Amino acid sequence: MGQRVSLMVEPRVSGPLRGGEDPFSKGEADIGFMCTPSFFWLRALKVPPVELLPAAPVFDDVRARGRPVYFSEVVVRRESPVRSFLDLRGCSWAYNDPCSLSGYYNWLKKLAEMGEDEGFFGQVVCSGSHLNSMEMIARGKVGAAAIDSNVLKIKLKSSPELCAHLRVLESWGPFPIQPVVLRSGLRPELKERLRTILLTVGADPHASLTLAEFGLERFAPVTYEHYAPEEQACRSASAR
């Protein structure tokens, strides 16, 4: 008999909020894709409800060089006169949600490196998603935002008209790609089976074509060390 599988999608945030409820602790989810900060927060709990599935997506980006990494693209309106991040002082800035590494924590880190804080911008707004941030920039509602490089690439491919309105000002990274996580209580044999499936899915010609539609090449082995460099950075940004 086959197993019954259900899919849940949370469009409002990139992962469970820090200190909030999560579907893994309640046994409602066994495997998930989330942004790195949420993974860190869940792993920091007294009884971590998740662990890393040691296989991560590799996207078709020449800068990634076959590694499971991605970038934050600082995007502005094409006709904007700004030529560097410093030129954004006093401008309005959008971020997708407070669980996002690419859209939230990376600009906080950038400001900290400059000796600045959120006061650097004239206004900071939460857009609700990378897609919303791009639309707000294109319509002139905000001046800039940091966008997940893969989201940007996929959106511009499906909506090429946006190319006429958006421009990448700077690229930050690379950063470790969003982790795939497992509920800690899963049976070891099921965890191993899921790892094997992801690491070999790219070898299936039909699956490979489906992955390519989303800019995915394959899944590559990863360990906790792959994400470690960002953990302290996220903690420092949270403290600030």
Q: Residue-wise pLDDT tens for the chain (240 aa)?
A: 456 678 888 888 999 999 999 999 999 999 999 999 999 999 999 999 999 999 999 999 999 999 999 999 999 999 999 999 999 999 999 999 999 999 999 999 999 999 999 999 999 999 999 999 999 999 999 999 999 999 999 999 999 999 999 999 999 999 999 999 999 999 999 999 999 999 999 888 888 899 999 999 999 999 999 999 898 878 777 666
The beta strand positions in 26-160, using DSSP E, are 31-33, 50-52, 55-59, 69-77, 92-95, 123-126, 144-148
Domain regions of the chain by residue span: 31-62+178-234, 69-175
Is 216 in contact with 178 (CB distance < 8 Å)? Answer: no
Max CA pair span of the chain: 62
**Interacting residues of 66 by C-beta distance below 8 A, sequence separation 6+:** 58, 217, 220
Gyration radius of the chain over CA positions: 18
The CATH code that applies to domain 31-62+178-234 is 3.40.190.10
Whether 31-62+178-234 and 69-175 share one fold: the answer is: yes
CA trace torsion 183, 185, 186, 191 (10° rounding): 70
Superfamily, domain 69-175? Periplasmic binding protein-like II (3.40.190.10)
Q: What is the pTM of this model?
A: 0.93
Is 32 in contact with 10 (CB distance < 8 Å)? Answer: no
